Amino acid sequence: MIADFNTMPEMFWYCNEHYFNNELPTPKYGVLHSYKILGRFTYNLEDMHKPGKKRYKAISMSDYFDFDEETFRNIMVHEMIHYYLFLKGFSDFSLIRHLFLRFFTFKDYHHGPEFMAMAQKFNEQYGLNIAKTCDASAIPLSPNAPKYQK
């Protein structure tokens, strides 16, 4: 499965129904052209005219890989956990925590205890494989991936 504006919404809707009880509003979707980043949840906390409004939410995935369905689902659920925690206001997304960890260069400031607890629960309950990272070395490249020139 190659990430695009058809496969991502379909997988989102499936996962939202099966794992999140349809609690997540449909986000925007984006396509990443990246070998290093397989998935990303992005958000904008404030609109200048409506402070505190959680306005912009997007899930993006790399189109450089031809994922099998299981890996595609695991990446989508990983990003959906970030989305769920963001909407519920868990401390993994608190502004103070985010700024503190970011300025002191901790790389893993979004995979806190709430994220890891949810990932473990989903892994045990549904047989998923949600992890902080994914080794992409064995995933076949898609036709969208540029070829390395030596």
pTM: 0.82
In a domain, 75, yes or no: yes
Q: What is the pLDDT of residue 49?
A: 57
Average pLDDT, the chain: 84
**What is the count of structural domains for the chain?**
1
Closest CA to 27 of 47, 49, 43: 43
In a domain, 139, yes or no: no
Q: What residues make up the domain containing 87?
A: 7-126
Q: What is the pLDDT of residue 100?
A: 55
Q: What is the pLDDT of residue 25?
A: 94
In a domain, 131, yes or no: no
CATH of the domain at 41: 3.30.2010
In a domain, 79, yes or no: yes
In a domain, 102, yes or no: yes
Q: What is the pLDDT of residue 103?
A: 53
Q: Which two tokens stand for residue 60?
A: 């993006």
pLDDT score of 106 more than 50: no
In a domain, 136, yes or no: no
In a domain, 53, yes or no: yes
In a domain, 113, yes or no: yes
pLDDT score of 48 more than 60: no
Across the beta sheet with 28-32, the strand order is 28-32, 56-62, 39-44
